[in-house]
Chain A
Amino acid sequence: MKSRHKRIAIIVAGIALLAIAATLLLQSFQSNLVFFFSPTEVIQGKSPSKGNFRVGGLVEAGSVKRDGTKVAFKITDTANTMGVVYTGILPDLFKEGKGIVAQGAQGADGVFVADQVLAKHDENYMPPEAAEALEKAKLNQTMKGEVK
């Protein structure tokens, strides 16, 4: 009888431990999800004002300004454009007119402060997020056109 009680206690403790672990796991998971927004959505205020998120689009031609290791540039989904600043070394494939994804948070002045800039490793490759942003903007424009 005693050994049975012991076993039940162990099973209960095991389940409790598992439940705690699962809760912590999911909590950490939830708080580390980074959502993606297009410049248009950011300008419409759909992106969070606090915390990290990702934006993507094309680097606008002629918008890149360097000051030592500080870089300011604009990204566009062709419908809307937003400013991004980044300190550090940009990836090799960061070029004007090419797609990139930036991760960071919205600064007080509305400029996006990136702590990570991703451009992928292939010349013709467009980050899927950037591609989606362009797609969305295009879709919105055609829909507007139909309304008119």
Chain B
Amino acid sequence: MNPVIGHYALILALFVAALQAALPLAGLSKNNEKLFAFAAPMARIQSALIIFSFLILTYAFYANDFSVYYVAVTSNSHLPLIFRLAAVWGGHEGSMLFWVTILAVWTLAVTFFAKELPLRFRSSLLAVMGLLTVGFLMFILFTSNPFDRIFPAPFDGRDLNPLLQDPGMVFHPPLLYMGYVGFSVAFAFAIAALLDGRLDVTWARWTRPWTTAAWVFLTLGIALGSRWAYYELGWGGWWFWDAVENASFMPWLIGTALIHSLAVTEKRDAFKAWTVLLSICAFSLSLLGTFLVRSGVLTSVHAFATDPSRGLFILLFLVVVIGGALTLFALRAQSVGLGEKFDLVSRESFLLSNNLVLFTATASVLLGTLYPLLIDAMGMGKISVGPPYFDTVFVAIMVPGIFLMGIGPIASWKKASVPDLASKLKWALGISIISALLVPSVMGRLSPMIFVGLLMAFWVISSVLVAIKTRLKAIPGNDVVKKFKTFGPAFNGMLLAHFGLAIFIIGVTMVKGYEQEYDITMHSGETTVINGYDFTFKGTLPVTGPNYKSKQGQFYVTKDGKEIDLLTPEKRYYPVQGAVMTEASISINPVRDIYISLGEELEEGGWSIRIYFKPFVQWIWLGCLLMGLGGLLTMVDKRYRLKKKVTNNESAAT
């Protein structure tokens, strides 16, 4: 198939997307209802064209069509098929096309699942998504065309960066992009609400599962990326506060605030303007993330070949979208209104504090991420912000938030009583304190940070239990099983996600508090005792992979004479790029990981070797998985699928 067709499809999609944006907006300003009807068909045509064009590019990778420049620089005929397909988003141009393809997928989904919204609102929502599509398509067509040809076609391609040749590459970017771009629905929703000057409770209910879906994708995407970095980068870290990680974490934090704020808007008709603002912020931060990663202002694993014109374009796009949205917010927020009042002690208050905490945390991450770039841009030298800043500040901000998180789900809406909450939670607090002291006594060391971390984790867990108990008590009857069944997925999902966070905190606290690292030198046949384990090094074996050659270390790990594992860390050499890669080998179990990676081969025939003990490290990702599942569970709640009757009054133009 000719790649040119893909290019044409993109150009056509640009025009259709422009119509998808322009016609409904014209309808809105001219009060012409007929124009609204164009939004959905245009959106569908445009999405189909983009997806088609994406498939054409994928086919070029499948067929090793190195006459396409992008394929030639990111793939190679020896690359295994699954990585050839993942290589579609392995470089700048392709990942931008992938971004817009995901946007097309979300757009398509909106055209099918937004029937309960009034036509007018649905159309302006699609118009906003059309505008975003136009922006990104222009970016692709003018600065980053993935279908550019190269004549004569090279005999073979330059290969995918060996670091990216990993199953993580197959799943991490799609999940992350689904998350990033998913917030565009919430964004479009907010803009449409501002254009309309109204935020209806039923609309808030409609947008909740969408936002949660984006959040679930983002959660899983970030977790997967973190786990990938953990085993791939060879130094056993799982989060580096690297600017690119922060770029994905900031939308996550604001997204978390948003799903909580949306809950209040839907249930209590409150926090309206705030919800709109958060929707704008979540997507703006997604765009900022794209800008940071793709413009070349940052250099990291994620940064590809850079071109200043691209950075300028995205920056401009960023200014237009964020600036425009915030201006619109400033002008129209009043008409959306603040919503219902509530008492100082109420679930609304707790959720508001949660929002403020998450907002502040985001701001602190933003400061640490952007400040060095700003200083550099002004020519004032190069600086970096050390991870200790993020560690201390982030934890300090989150601790009160997590404390409130234990109380929030138990407090009643509108007005709650302090003595009542205290009596419900005093046992939870006591048990948390005792557990937070007990675990370190088993592990043999206690520090303030370990105590605080465990206290927060156990506090969340015990308050989840209290929430279940309170809910059970509130339902009349004696049959506990029957009562459980009345809970509903939304409530269960919320508790599961909170529980997941507790698991995550346990993982982080245990790893930070008790991890051990050893850099040693070993020769073949040697045995070293570390931490009660015997490590016997049996030398390295040569291994030939599909597109690399490797030396594979053989380490027998035993404890008290019992065999635990055979660990086989590798040093791989990828001839196409002349790159050397370290592949760590990890013995995983629920309470500890043993992590070995090979350093360099020394002149006398030994190897420098790095061995880590990482207690409870898997809990970090398990916790994220539970959070994601919790989010998923809330989405299947029945009330999101109740068809709302749209009265004529509601859809009529005013």
CB of B327 closer than 8 Å to a CB of A: no
Q: Do B388 and A89 touch (CB < 8 A)?
A: no
Bound-state Cα–Cα, A28 to B161, Å: 37
Cβ of A43 within 8 Å of any chain B Cβ, yes or no, is no
Contact, CB under 8 Å: A52 / B386: yes
Is B73 on the interface with A (CB-CB < 8 A)?
Answer: no
- Most chain A beta-carbon contacts within 10 A, residue among B299, B367, B580: B299
- CB of A59, distance to nearest CB on chain B (Å): 14
The answer to the question of B396 belonging to the interface, with a C-beta cut-off of 8 Å to chain A, is: yes
Contacting residues, chain B, for A89 (C-beta < 8 A):
235, 519, 597, 599-600, 608-610
* Min distance, Cβ B247 to any Cβ of chain A, angstroms: 17
Contact between A69 and B386, CB atoms less than 8 A apart: no
Indicate whether B142 reaches chain A with its CB closer than 8 angstroms. no
Q: Which of B85-93, B219-227, B276-284, B377-385 contacts A (4 or more CB under 8 A)?
A: B377-385
Contact A121 B161 (CB under 8 A): yes
Q: Which residue of A lies closest to B598 (CB)?
A: A89
Q: Within 8 Å CB of A132, what residues of B? A: 382
Flag if A92 contacts B386 (CB, 8 Å).
Answer: no
- Cα separation A87 to B610 with both chains bound (whole Å): 12
Q: Any chain B CB within 8 A of the CB of A122? A: yes
Interchain CB contact under 8 A, A33 and B385: yes
Q: Within the complex, which residue of B300, B385, B578, B582 is in contact with A34, where a contact is CB–CB below 8 Å?
A: B385
Looking across the interface, which residue of chain B has its beta carbon closest to that of A26? B367
Contact flag A29-B368 (CB < 8 Å), given A24-B396, A89-B519, A123-B578: yes
Cross-chain contact B579 with A123 (CB below 8 angstroms): yes
Once A69-B599, A123-B579 are accepted as A-B contacts, the answer to whether A36 and B384 lie under 8 Å apart by CB is yes
* B364–A69 touching, CB < 8 Å: no
B397 at the interface (CB under 8 A from A): yes
Distance between Cα atoms of A21 and B356 in the complex (Å): 13
| Cβ A69 vs Cβ B521 within 8 A | yes
Chain A residues contacting B55 (CB-CB under 8 Å) are: none
Q: Which residues of A contact B161 (CB under 8 A)?
A: 121-122
Please determine whether A25 and B577 come into contact, CB atoms closer than 8 angstroms: no
Residue interface bits B373-415, CB-to-A below 8 A is 1, else 0 = 0000000011111101100110011000000000000000000
A24 to B360, CA, bound (A): 13
Residue of A nearest to B521 (CB): A68
Q: Please, which residues of chain A bring their CB within 8 A of the CB of B580?
A: 92-93
A34 contacts B386, C-beta separation under 8 Å? yes
> Residue A90 contacts which of B367, B579, B599 (CB distance < 8 angstroms)?
B599
How far apart are B550's CB and chain A's nearest CB, in angstroms? 13
CA distance A30 to B344 in the complex (A): 35
Convert A82-96 into 0s and 1s, putting 1 for each residue whose CB lies closer than 8 angstroms to a CB of B: 000001111011000
Decide if B519 touches A69 in the complex (CB within 8 Å): yes
B386 touching A32 by the CB < 8 A rule?
A: yes
CA gap between A125 and B301 in the complex, in Å: 11
B299/A128 in contact, CB under 8 A: yes
Query: Which B residues touch A29, using CB under 8 A?
Result: 367-368, 371, 385, 389, 393
Determine if B582 and A92 form an interchain contact, defined as CB atoms under 8 angstroms apart: yes
Give CA–CA (A116, B511) in the complex, Å: 20
CA distance A88 to B386 in the complex (A): 20
A66 at interface by CB-CB < 8 Å: yes
Flag A128-145 by CB within 8 Å of B: 1 or 0 each. 110010000000000000
| Residue positions of B touching A, CB distance < 8 A | 161, 163, 234-235, 299-301, 344, 360, 364, 367-368, 371, 381-386, 388-389, 392-393, 396-397, 519-521, 577-582, 597, 599-600, 602-603, 608-610
